[in-house]
Amino acid sequence: MAAYEVVALRAFADNYIWTIRDGSHAVVVDPGEAQPVIDYLKREKLTLAAILNTHHHADHVGGNAALLAYAPAPVFGPRDERIPEVSVRLADGQHFQLPHFDIDMETLEIPAHTRSHIAFVGGGMLFCGDTLFAAGCGRLFEGTPRQMHDSLTRLARLPDDTRVYCGHEYTLSNIKFARAAEPDNTLLPALEARMQALREKDLPTLPTTIAQEKATNPFVRVNAPGVIKTASARAGKTLSDPVSVLAEIRDWKNNF
């Protein structure tokens, strides 16, 4: 397999356009803006091999049209007419070869942030858009707490060392909330210090890993006694199922 690396291109205030590249080609995930991608392709003399879209929000697909006008390429994305540029519409469990790169990608349908949100898994990488963040999860715009719980549970079953590429740099504010949601999690202060040091150097805190999320993400840890305890205290009653815990802490985070 050809050697490749994954580079973070920045867009807007805190979006990442994850870019898989080797010496000649690039695949971009969720180009909310075209210009940062076009600048990068020109500077590095790369050919666009494909675009991947996780969900229809403008900060993830807004650059599709301008990017395709600059360099035609297949667009892999969900079965959702709200992304007109998608040329290969993917269903759950569907595999495809990433063009140019010799990587087998699998599609996972992970609704909750939006109803048609998908993730891409392959080559030890997960591109999960706005569903799973480092120490957090996306807002429930078109889904239920149960759907978010199911989607996060599916992602958490991936191998521990899977590198997790999230759509936004939200890690520090998420850890702040995670510390409130699970005050007895002794891993969180050290994680916060490590991530703060990266941000001070203006470096991404991503990718995270599935192992790290299972150890520190309160939305993944809805069965942990510490999370159940704080969620129950906020609800004013004992919450005995993971979906209710997730609903409670998601609502808490919205107002945190």
Size of the site for Zn ion (CB under 5 A): 2
Verify binding: residue 253, Zn ion, rule CB under 5 A: no
Phi then psi for 53, rounded to 5 degrees?
Answer: -120, 130
Question: Is 60 a catalytic site residue?
Answer: yes
**Can you give the three-state secondary structure of 44-91, one letter per residue?**
HCCEEEEEECCCCCHHHHCCHHHHHHHCCCCEEEECCCCCCCCCEEEC
3-state DSSP assignment of residue 38: helix
Q: Which of 56, 60, 117, 149 is catalytic?
A: 60
Angle 31-121-243 (CA atoms, 0-180°, nearest 5)?
A: 95
Confirm whether 117 is a catalytic residue: no
Query: CB count, 10 Å around CB of 28?
Result: 27
In whole angstroms, the minimum distance from the beta carbon of 47 to Fe ion comes to: 27
Quick check: 59 binds Fe ion (CB under 5 A)? yes
55 noted as active-site residue: yes
- Which residues is 119 bridged to in the sheet? 108
Residue 130 is a catalytic residue:
yes
Are the C-beta atoms of residues 99 and 74 closer than 8 Å to each other?
A: yes
* Residues 109-168, interacting with Fe ion (CB under 5 A): 130, 167
Give the one entry of Zn ion, Fe ion, none that residue 192 binds, where binding means its C-beta sits below a cut-off of 5 to 8 angstroms depending on kind: none
Using the rule CB under 5 A, which residue among 21, 25, 56, 57 binds Zn ion? 57
The yes-or-no answer on residue 113 being catalytic is yes
Selecting among 25, 55, 100, 149, the annotated active-site residue is 55
| Active site (annotated) includes residue 100 | no
83: left (phi over 0), alpha (psi -120 to 50) or beta: beta
- When CB distances are held under 5 to 8 angstroms depending on the partner's kind, the choice from Zn ion, Fe ion, none that residue 213 binds is none
Among 80, 130, 169, 213, contact with Zn ion (rule: CB under 5 A): 130
Q: Which residues bind Zn ion (CB under 5 A)?
A: 57, 130
Residues assigned a catalytic role: 55, 57, 59-60, 113, 130, 168
